[in-house]
Chains A and B, each alone.
Chain A
Amino acid sequence: MTATASPERTEAASSPRPSRRGDRVFAGVVRGAALTILVTLVAVFVFLAVEGWVGLTSDAATYAPFTSLVSYIWPLVVSTLLASAMALVVSVPFAVAVALFISHYAPRRLASALAYVIDLLAAVPSVVFGLWGGRYLAAYLLPAHVWLHAHLGFIPIFGDASPNGRSLFTASIVLAIMILPIMTAISREIFMQTPRLHQEAALALGATRWEMVRYAVFPYARSGMIAAIMLGLGRALGETMAVAMVLATTPTTTLNVIGTASPPTIAANIALNYKEATPERQSLLIATGLVLFLVTFLVNFAARWVAGRSERRLNR
């Protein structure tokens, strides 16, 4: 902390003249970087829109095994949202707990080792997660499928159990593991940034450790945690290979997440079908990519709005 603060002070003390050119160059570089990202985003959108436009209005045969764009995309959208939502439900509490453990509970040495290992998890390629999930984890989660159907079968999403565990449920568990590292890393950093004084004040007022975390750390870290969840959600929505390799697919719409098969997610569907697709089908697949792009935007906006609203209510 002190190391980063001192150069600022010396710079402010000396005259700004010698660093002016450096300042301008640096400002330009930073601005350029920000613009590049925007341009890339626009370029992706333009590509999807131009290439996918034909796919939005092809003849019925292109949408096989369905007959219209909506009936083709709808099951994919439902699967995408379901899988991401389940992944978040599983992953967010885990990520927050792990981050809290590292930042506030674990002894320092264990904390840094654990943080390192979790960061490593982010380096595992999704293909490997896909292989592991489909070949290994699915079989181990099979009893969970049977249990869910037996005990929670009255909820529509827990219908008949899959014969081998290659279900949307398993896919979202794999997704949850994949989005865990990024959410943990960001939450951890934010938790560590909580001002010491706030924490000590809470403790001095007689708060237990948990109460201190609840009243001092969480409110301070709220926006950072939301950013972490957004990043995790983005990864879950767009994850391709792992879903394509784990999930047993079917073209029919089903809400049963532990069933024999579900429609693939949008990204997985593109990966599965692009290679052998005719040009018309390819533009249809690109059009589904456009839909995913828009869905991701909408979900992000909605989530931010909800988060912002709860924050405003908190401040009132």
Chain B
Amino acid sequence: MKNSSLRRIAFPAVAALTVGLTLSGCGDKSTSGGSGSGSGGTLNGGGATSQANAEDAWRAAYQKANGGTINYEQVGSGTGVVNFTSKAYSFAGTDAYLTTDQLGAAKTTCGADPIEIPAYVSPIAVAFKLSGVKSLNMDAKTVADIFDGKVTKWNDPEIAAQNSGVKLPDTAISTVHRSDESGTTFNFTDYLNQASEGAWSEAANTVWPAGIKGGQGLEGTSGVVGGLTSTEGSIGYADDSAIKADGTLGVVSIKVGSSYNAPSSDGAAQVLEASPAAPNRPATDMATDIDRTATASGDYPLMLVSYLLACPTYSDATTATMVKGYLTYVVSSAGQQAAASTAGSAPLSASVSRKATAIVSKITSGS
């Protein structure tokens, strides 16, 4: 009895396994045939999660045109840099430019000054949910006071003074921030720290400061957007593309000089172009200290810049060709447009793109 029932199960199981294995064998063959047509080779990279959507677009386009396989692991900036210096990755993405120590380590890895170019620029929007209000003007000090818990009602005089004509309700403000470590938080707190004229005392950090009481931390960009849309009277910050994609939230125009600017890709790209280079960097390094207090017309200094790291020489010729080709595509106007349409990033300005292309074009295979 037992024996026969076992056999009854065993036969179909074996049959199914055989069919499954045969099918998967076929699948293997067809994929390997596909990649053989291009330049072949596999390129491993990874790092910042902020770039991930853009990397998907770049990888797809590059692989379609040139063949080969490019991998981008979303392991976070810190791990990305570590894996780059340990040679596990041929290239890496990071939200914060290399520290002096990391720069030294990367130099040892590459045997020469590493390449660091901006690849992904994205404005960060301060968004809110308040029925009937779609746009508000605020200076950095007001934003800081709101997130610091000093301004607790939407009809506070500090907000009202900058928004004459807008009918503000007596609703309590609840602030929303990221509960996970994030480059968005770093850039937002950096902006508040530098632009709010002392109203924000905490230093820029990837984690939300503990000194700030009363905010809600939610997971990830989608968590923040979800929290905002479900809570009347809430305000938070997130990548502009996510806020635009949601479409229901109001957006703050931040004060730049004497005018108020809504988040804009052009404004962010413009600020990056005008911002000073970080001091004491090698020629192949485009690390930039973003000017959070930029005042030119149209500027939008609340933004995130994510970099790509690579070596100027690779011992393996295929790797060198692929890194060079891939990075050239990434910073080209075509690559930047592709990222803008899929990930909602701000395309690099022409001059930044030119400079990055010039650096990347010097990648060689130095065996």
Measured CB to CB, the residues of A under 8 A from B are: 64-66, 134-135, 138-139, 162-164, 166, 244-245, 247-252, 260-261, 264, 272-279, 281-282
Contacts and interface: CB of A to CB of B under 8 A. Distances in A.
Nearest to B183: A276
B190 to A, nearest CB: 14
Given A252-B210, A272-B179, 19 more contacts: A65-B208, A135-B230, A139-B230, A163-B234, A164-B227, A164-B230, A164-B234, A248-B179, A249-B216, A249-B217, A250-B213, A251-B207, A260-B216, A261-B216, A261-B217, A276-B77, A276-B182, A276-B183, A282-B79
A278 B101 CA distance: 14
Given A276-B180, A276-B183, A250 B219 contact: no
B75 interface: yes
Is the interface on chain B under 10, 10 to 19, 20 to 34, or 35 or more residues? 35 or more
20 contacts: A64-B205, A64-B207, A134-B226, A139-B230, A163-B172, A164-B216, A164-B227, A164-B234, A166-B218, A245-B219, A248-B216, A248-B217, A249-B179, A250-B217, A251-B209, A252-B213, A264-B179, A275-B74, A276-B78, A281-B181
Contact of A275 (B75, B227, B231): B75
B298 interface: no
Contacts of A244: 179, 219
Interface centre among A245, A251, A264 (most CB of B within 10 A): A251
A260 B179 contact: no
A277 B227 contact: no
Contacts of A64: 205, 207
B206 A65 contact: no
Contacts of A66: 210
B142 interface: no
B76 A277 contact: yes
Contacts of B213: 250, 252
Contacts of B230: 135, 138-139, 164
B215 A261 contact: yes
B227 A248 contact: yes
Given A251-B207, A251-B210, A275-B181, A166 B75 contact: no
A194 to B, nearest CB: 30
What does DSSP make chain A's interface, helix, strand, loop or mixed?
Answer: loop
Contacts of A260: 174, 214-216
Contacts of A252: 210, 213
Interface of B: 48-49, 74-79, 82, 172, 174, 176, 179-183, 205-211, 213-219, 223, 226-227, 230-234
Contacts of A162: 216
Contacts, number: 106
Given A163-B172, A163-B174, A272 B49 contact: no
A245 B179 CA distance: 10
A272 B180 contact: yes
A164 B217 contact: no
Contacts of B227: 164, 166, 248
Nearest to A275: B76
Contacts of B211: 65
B218 A279 contact: no
A138 B216 CA distance: 14
Contacts of B182: 276
A276 B219 contact: no
A279 B217 contact: no
Contacts of B234: 163-164
A139 B232 CA distance: 12
Contacts of B78: 276-279, 281-282
A282 B76 CA distance: 11
B226 A273 contact: no
Contacts of B207: 64-65, 251, 273
Contact of A277 (B181, B183, B209, B226): B181
Nearest to A138: B230
A249 B215 CA distance: 8
A46 B76 CA distance: 26
A134 B228 CA distance: 12
Nearest to B77: A276
Given A139-B230, A163-B172, A273 B181 contact: yes
A116 B230 CA distance: 35
A272 B219 CA distance: 7
A249 B219 CA distance: 9
A279 B209 contact: no
Nearest to B214: A260
The 9 closest A-B pairs by CB, nearest first: A65-B210, A249-B217, A278-B78, A248-B216, A251-B210, A276-B181, A276-B76, A249-B179, A272-B180
Contacts of A245: 219, 223
A274 B339 CA distance: 26
Contacts of B216: 162-164, 166, 248-250, 260-261
A34 B115 CA distance: 53
A66 B227 CA distance: 26
Contacts of B206: 276
A179 B108 CA distance: 51
